[in-house]
Amino acid sequence: MPKTVLVTGGAGFIGSHTCVELLQHGYDVVVVDDHSNSSPRALERIAKVAGTPLAAVYGIDVRDRRALSSVFAAHRFDAVIHFAAKKAVGESVEIPLEYYDINVGGTTALLAAMHEHGVHRLVFSSSCSIYGNATEVPLTEQSPAGPTNPYARTKLLCEEILDDACRRLPELSVLALRYFNPVGAHPSGLLGEDPHGVPNNVMPYVAQVAAGRLPRLSVFGNDYPTPDGTGIRDYIHVVDVAEGHRTALEHLGDENGMRVFNLGTGVGSSVLDLVAAFSEASGRQIPYEITGRRPGDVAELVADPSAVARAWNWATTRDLATMCRDAWRFQELNPTGYGA
Ligand code: NAD
Ligand code: WQD
């Protein structure tokens, strides 16, 4: 019997790639997404890339408990992957209550539906942002949490809620995956990151500079204590993130309770490394200027990915050049994202 998985936020950047990965491995996939930050066209692309359709799609808000309960009543889910959330750090400072409502309220609504319908297995999207101002790199899962903005606090709070739920409900198995910086796109060029307006994150910004849609990149500070002075991050290919989720599903049954893993490569790249790699991948100049630091930014965030390697015998396989090449292909084939 194929396994049936509910993917909340399945039309989003990471969700869409994960749906493809699951469909290609024989899972039946049901998506819940209110399209507050995604295009329904991503769902058509998922079916096209995977060569097989999604089992069902529900355009609902995960906080709508009645609608969510009827989704659970209509399917027998073996597991849930919960991507649906708001994720823009700067916006979370402007509208913190909305972030708590959607990210935390969405998670508790989902847990209630799972409990009501006897579904006990969950993979949760957490974030490296919960580490905040890291004092040591690479970061292990035991590194202290110190979120510095409301978005990151919602993710830490969700982890704590899930931990409390697991203590109370011994049948629950939860894997919280702390992704570092997911970037890139599906190698088909049909799926990728489609931010609304001017991108906040560096990779889609650089892609639009390479394409000539934006004049130049502002490099936010070159006075960090790093070799070239610019911020260092652990960029991870979104297809590696998707494969990580499929692998997580396979390990939900290993033991019950709450487990937390980093999802990163262990390789740090500076902003200037990224600019050089993207320029090489695209064959385009990436004009940039050094500007002041972005408030709230930290010098270096790099994962120690060894825990997941030990637990699942799994590691990422795609390097920065591949991330840039795939992001560029998506940019070239979809100059205005899914809106084209
Ligand atoms: P995304 O915005 O592309 O995808 C999120 C999806 O959830 C969107 O399709 C959106 O329409 C949907 N959604 C939002 N609120 C909803 C609601 N209330 N009900 C139903 N659907 C809703 O984001 P992404 O980059 O794919 O991120 C997925 C998850 O991973 C998020 O939880 C995010 O916080 C987390 N994460 C992302 C990154 C990153 O850099 N992209 C890093 C770490 C963690
Ligand atoms: C990366 C580097 C910037 C834009 C964010 C979230 C984090 C997680 C991953 C969700 C930094 C520099 C950026 C630009 C630049 N998401 N930069 N010019 O901030 O590391 O992480 O995504 O959980 O929570 O905060 O990613 O891509 O914004 O920045 O120089 O125009 O690029 O200073 O060094 P960040 P980013």
User: Above 60 in pLDDT, residue 74?
Assistant: yes
Determine which residue's CA is closest to atom 33 belonging to ligand 2: 220
Can you give the pLDDT at residue 332?
Answer: 97
Determine which residue's CA is closest to atom 23 belonging to ligand 2: 127
CA angle (189, 80, 39) in 5-degree steps: 35
Can you give the pLDDT at residue 107?
Answer: 99
Can you give the pLDDT at residue 242?
Answer: 98
Can you give the pLDDT at residue 24?
Answer: 98
232-233 and 269-270: which strand pairing?
antiparallel
Backbone angles phi, psi at 38, to 5 degrees: -160, 160
Can you give the pLDDT at residue 130?
Answer: 96
Please state, in angstroms and rounded to a whole number, the distance separating the CA atoms of residues 150 and 38: 22
Work out the number of other CB atoms within 10 angstroms of the CB of residue 8.
Answer: 26
**274 alpha-carbon distance from chain centroid:** 19
Please state, in angstroms and rounded to a whole number, the distance separating the CA atoms of residues 87 and 192: 16
In 3-state terms the chain splits into helix, strand, coil percentages (rounded to 5) of 40, 20, 40
CA-CA-CA-CA dihedral for 216, 218, 223, 229, to nearest 10 = -50
Helix, strand or coil for residue 100? helix
Task: Give 87 Cα–ligand 1 centroid separation in angstroms.
Answer: 6
Can you give the pLDDT at residue 1?
Answer: 62
Can you give the pLDDT at residue 133?
Answer: 86
* pLDDT level of residue 165 (50, 70, 90 thresholds): very high
Instruction: Verify whether ligand 1 is closer than 6 Å to residue 38 (CB atom).
Output: yes
User: Above 90 in pLDDT, residue 166?
Assistant: yes
Least confident among 9-13, 71-75, 124-128, 132-136: 132-136
**Nearest ligand (C-alpha, residue 194):** 1
Closest CA to 134 of 301, 296, 260, 306: 301
Please state, in angstroms and rounded to a whole number, the distance separating the CA atoms of residues 173 and 310: 19
User: Above 60 in pLDDT, residue 340?
Assistant: no
Task: Give 220 Cα–ligand 2 centroid separation in angstroms.
Answer: 10
Determine which residue's CA is closest to atom 13 belonging to ligand 1: 84
The residues spanned by each domain of the chain are 4-183+236-265+303-316
Helix, strand or coil for residue 338? helix
* pLDDT level of residue 151 (50, 70, 90 thresholds): very high
Can you give the pLDDT at residue 112?
Answer: 98
Please state, in angstroms and rounded to a whole number, the distance separating the CA atoms of residues 52 and 26: 9
Q: What is the mean pLDDT of residues 321-327?
A: 98
Q: pLDDT tens digits for 178-189?
A: 999 999 999 999
CA-CA-CA-CA dihedral for 141, 144, 149, 153, to nearest 10 = 60
Instruction: Verify whether ligand 2 is closer than 6 Å to residue 44 (CB atom).
Output: no
Can you give the pLDDT at residue 276?
Answer: 98
Q: Which residue bears the tokens 């490569």?
A: 265
Work out the number of other CB atoms within 10 angstroms of the CB of residue 90.
Answer: 12
User: Above 60 in pLDDT, residue 154?
Assistant: yes
Q: pLDDT tens digits for 25-61?
A: 999 999 999 999 999 999 999 999 999 999 999 999 9
Backbone angles phi, psi at 301, to 5 degrees: -135, 110
**221 alpha-carbon distance from chain centroid:** 25
Q: Are 223 and 201 in contact (CB under 8 A)?
A: no
Is 151 labeled as catalytic in the residue annotation?
Answer: yes
Q: Which two tokens stand for residue 243?
A: 């494969």
**Nearest ligand (C-alpha, residue 238):** 1
Q: What is the mean pLDDT of residues 272-292?
A: 98
For the chain, what is the mean pLDDT?
97
Work out the number of other CB atoms within 10 angstroms of the CB of residue 147.
Answer: 18
Determine which residue's CA is closest to atom 24 belonging to ligand 2: 129
Instruction: Verify whether ligand 2 is closer than 6 Å to residue 91 (CB atom).
Output: no
**151, 179, 205, 235: which is the annotated catalytic residue?**
151
Closest CA to 186 of 7, 5, 24: 24
CB-count burial class (<10 Å; 0-12, 13-18, 19+) for 74: exposed
For the chain, report the end-to-end CA distance as a whole number of angstroms: 39
Please state, in angstroms and rounded to a whole number, the distance separating the CA atoms of residues 81 and 10: 9
Q: Which two tokens stand for residue 245?
A: 């989720």
- Given the candidates 3.40.50.12780, 3.10.100.10, 3.30.470.10, 3.40.50.720, the CATH classification of the domain at 4-183+236-265+303-316 is 3.40.50.720
Instruction: Verify whether ligand 2 is closer than 6 Å to residue 222 (CB atom).
Output: no
Can you give the pLDDT at residue 2?
Answer: 65
Q: What is the mean pLDDT of residues 220-242?
A: 98
DSSP 8-state code for residue 8: E
Please state, in angstroms and rounded to a whole number, the distance separating the CA atoms of residues 10 and 233: 25
**Helices (DSSP H) in 265-305: which residue ranges?**
271-282
Q: Which two tokens stand for residue 279?
A: 């320029």
Q: Which two tokens stand for residue 240?
A: 């590696």
